[in-house]
Amino acid sequence: MEEVARFLLAKDEDELHKVLERNRVRYIIVDKILGDLPMYAKLIGNNSQFFVERWNPQVKKTEYLPAPETFSLISSRLFFADGSLAEAAGIQFQPVEGVRLVYESASPASVGGFPWEIKRLKIFEKVEGARVNVRGVPGAVVNLSQPIETNQGRVFVYNNKKYFDRHGMATFKLLYPRKNTPRSTGALESPQITSNGRKQAIQVRDSDISTGCTLEATLAQ
């Protein structure tokens, strides 16, 4: 239970992958998680506050709402935003590299306030992923996007954003193979990188993703 708690409360990917590797975990099942966070936090001595109280005068009772910190957890970023860079209702979800969505339930989760559908149960897989080293203008923003279709036919765009370092280099992980059957989860198109008005599609093979191949691309002027 303590290792489950450490996964659910992890905030950075190094912490996440340490838990997965220590327990030899390949697949992650994420169900509705918010209500159980205080219990898991207490289990490992984490004093973070995941809910805030708010008085609702219309129903004349106290409501407990997720605190901003709750949505910074990797488990929340996977459950609510599929590990993609996303924003909704002022909540910024940072991307998660190294795990990809492979399955989701048909039934939706009982959550509101998001402009996209959220399923009740999701399964993610730990993958090496292909690495693509992109060259561009030092300090500039570079975006990666790729449309993904789940086993339930739901389509979302996997987004990631980075900045070129002082050497003009940024590295992304490509996680999703091509969708090959109606009941699989996979990419509908090649991933695309964009920066300073320039764009390029990355030609990546499924074998590149499974073996952790390194690819090169350039968006330099």
| DSSP string for residues in 108-138 | BPS--S-SS--BS-EEEEE---EEEEEE--T
What residue numbers bound the domain in which 72 lies? 1-126
Q: 115 with 144, same domain?
A: no
User: How many Cβ atoms are within 10 Å of 162's Cβ, its own excluded?
Assistant: 20
| Beta carbons of 111 and 31 less than 8 angstroms apart | no
144, two tokens: 């990666």
| Beta carbons of 97 and 160 less than 8 angstroms apart | yes
Greater model confidence, 193 or 59 = 193
| The model scores a pTM over 0.85 | yes
User: How many domains is the chain partitioned into structurally?
Assistant: 2
Model confidence pLDDT, tens digit, residues 174-214: 999 999 999 999 999 999 999 998 999 999 999 999 999 99
- Say how far apart CA 124 and CA 191 lie, in whole Å: 19
Band (pLDDT 50/70/90 cuts) for residue 72 is confident
**Domain closes at, from 126, 142, 165:** 126
Q: 122 with 209, same domain?
A: no
pLDDT at 124: 95
Model confidence pLDDT, tens digit, residues 5-55: 787 888 888 888 888 888 898 999 888 776 677 667 677 777 677 766 677
Q: What is the CATH number of the domain that holds 197?
A: 2.60.40.3390
Q: What is the CATH number of the domain that holds 50?
A: 3.40.50
